[in-house]
Amino acid sequence: MTSIYLSYDIFAINIASTMLGYVYGKGGALNANQDLGVKVATPVGNFFGQLLFGWLADNVGRKKMCECSSPPSRMRNTHVPLS
């Protein structure tokens, strides 16, 4: 399941970078360094997020980490039972 979310983040960052350019960029676009910074920060954040959540899952428990990081539980703000 994680690879689906990571793939979405990596491909959606191009659209997000364009939107950030419209909002914050001069002339409706980010300059080359800003665009590169946004696109580099995405996989770096994914990498460190995987390390952090893996470590937390080992120390707190996988079931609790799956429950707190599951997108449906965040959207509905409810408990997602795992068998």
The closest of 52, 53, 42 to 8, measured between CA atoms, is 42
Kindly report, residue by residue over 39-64, the tens digit of the pLDDT: 888 888 888 988 988 888 888 888 87
State the distance between the two ends of the chain, measured CA to CA, in whole angstroms.
Answer: 17
The arithmetic mean of pLDDT across residues 10-17, rounded, is 83
Q: What is the pTM (predicted TM-score) of this model?
A: 0.60
